[in-house]
Amino acid sequence: MYAGRSITDVAMEIERQQIAKKDFLVSTNALEVDVTDSGAVNLSFGDNVLSADDHALRQISEHTGIPAKYFDRCRREAPALLANNLTHWLHASNDKRLVRTLDNRARAFLSDRYQRIDHNDVAQVVLPALSGVAGLQIVSCEITDRKLYIKAVTQRIQGEVRKGDVLQAGVAISNSEIGMGALRVDPLLFRLVCMNGLIRADESFSKYHVGGRTTIGDNAYALLSDETLKADDRAILLKTRDVVAGALSEATFAQALERAREAAGQKVTGNPAKVIEVLANKVGISEAETGGILRHLIEGGDLSRWGVVNAITAFSQAPTLVYDRATELETVGGKVLDLAASEWQEIAIAA
């Protein structure tokens, strides 16, 4: 499992971003767009001029109905044409969008129904909850352009899949401020023999960032404050604290441990290379990643469903991966563990 940054460093970055970020509710007919010869896209409204990052640009592309391939080609080869297209279709849509900014760049272009559940709010609820759990250790955390991640493990709850193969109970919390996923709390299994993590996303609590519309009256744009967070947002965060405790319960861990023991007895009877290929198509593993996973499977010498799960989570530690993708692969490992028996059998016999 990637260690990421220390919890102190992550907390300091959350605090820095909390001060540096601003949110605007903007009428699209008040937006002006400039695209430089280098392909940089700037959004202007009122006295604000913001450089849009790639994620915000993809959201703008979707909102205006400009296909991504055409959008990217114009950005490279015809910046003035892209600026005209964007300005025209933004003005034509004549609606309101939430523009989330950080360090003077537009990082998200979202619906006015987007419910802001920010990293600072999550940390204020989750970190005290984690500190109250006996024997708990934060083993990995990070704040990326996409998400906040906190992963913690308790030595108090553990068990063996096989002799010497010890798992410990944990929890993985993640949140996105830019529309890249819900606030999630997922049970985590931590394998001591290789320090791999496995996230069981099907057991999760998640709250998608969708709420009521925020209004700006007759103004072209409005700067939104933290006070616009409503009472139901606070209730969601308090529920998160309760779900963290549930994810770390002995009952939750016992169920997961039993699944792992069953998986250890479910053999791969087909061609391992074909098994990984078929599995990749099913659970979202790229072609470039299959070779590394197959290598870990063969080197591990465990041709069972549990061996396949561990090959995926072992590959998630590859130095070529970014933290976001490494965590996604930990979740893929959980998906494989929780596949229905009939689905697994179809994969296991692939030849």
Q: How large a percentage of the chain has pLDDT more than 90?
A: 72
Q: pTM for the complete prediction? A: 0.89
For strands 22-27 and 32-35, give the pairing: unpaired
User: Is 316 in contact with 326 (CB distance < 8 Å)?
Assistant: yes
Bridge partners, 166 (sequence order): 160
Q: How far apart are the first and last CA of the chain?
A: 31
For strands 48-52 and 41-45, give the pairing: antiparallel
- Across the beta sheet with 32-35, the strand order is 32-35, 41-45, 48-52, 105-111, 96-102, 22-27, 221-224
Confidence of residue 216 (pLDDT cuts 50, 70, 90): very low
Q: What is the tens place of the pLDDT at every residue in 31-48? A: 999 999 999 999 999 899
Determine the pLDDT at residue 246.
82
Res. 331: pLDDT tops 90: yes
Q: What is the tens place of the pLDDT at every residue in 188-204? A: 999 998 888 989 886 66
Q: What is the tens place of the pLDDT at every residue in 112-128? A: 888 888 999 899 888 98
Res. 276: pLDDT tops 70: yes
Tell me which H or E stretch contains 231. Answer: helix 231-247
Overall average pLDDT of the 175-182 stretch: 92
Overall average pLDDT of the 328-339 stretch: 95
Determine the pLDDT at residue 235.
73
Give 210 or 233, the one with higher predicted confidence.
233
Q: How large a percentage of the chain has pLDDT more than 70?
A: 91
Determine the pLDDT at residue 43.
96
Confidence of residue 211 (pLDDT cuts 50, 70, 90): low
Tell me which H or E stretch contains 205. Answer: strand 205-207
Report the alpha-carbon distance of residue 71 to residue 57 in Å, rounded.
9
Q: How many helices (H) and strands (E) does the chain have?
A: 12, 13
Which of 14-28, 63-77, 126-140, 256-270 has the weakest average pLDDT?
126-140
Q: Who contacts 68 (Cβ-Cβ below 8 Å, separation ≥6)?
A: 58, 61
In the predicted model, what is the mean pLDDT of the chain? 89
User: Is 68 in contact with 58 (CB distance < 8 Å)?
Assistant: yes
Q: Who contacts 304 (Cβ-Cβ below 8 Å, separation ≥6)?
A: 263, 264, 265, 266, 267, 268
Q: Ramachandran region of residue 108, left (φ > 0), alpha (ψ -120 to 50) or beta?
A: beta
Res. 231: pLDDT tops 90: no
Q: What is the tens place of the pLDDT at every residue in 68-110? A: 999 999 999 999 999 999 999 999 988 999 999 999 999 999 9
Determine the pLDDT at residue 223.
56
Q: What is the tens place of the pLDDT at every residue in 246-268? A: 888 898 899 999 999 999 999 99
Determine the pLDDT at residue 28.
94
Give 285 or 245, the one with higher predicted confidence.
285
Give 116 or 314, the one with higher predicted confidence.
314
Q: What is the DSSP letter of 222?
A: E
Report the alpha-carbon distance of residue 192 to residue 196 in Å, rounded.
7
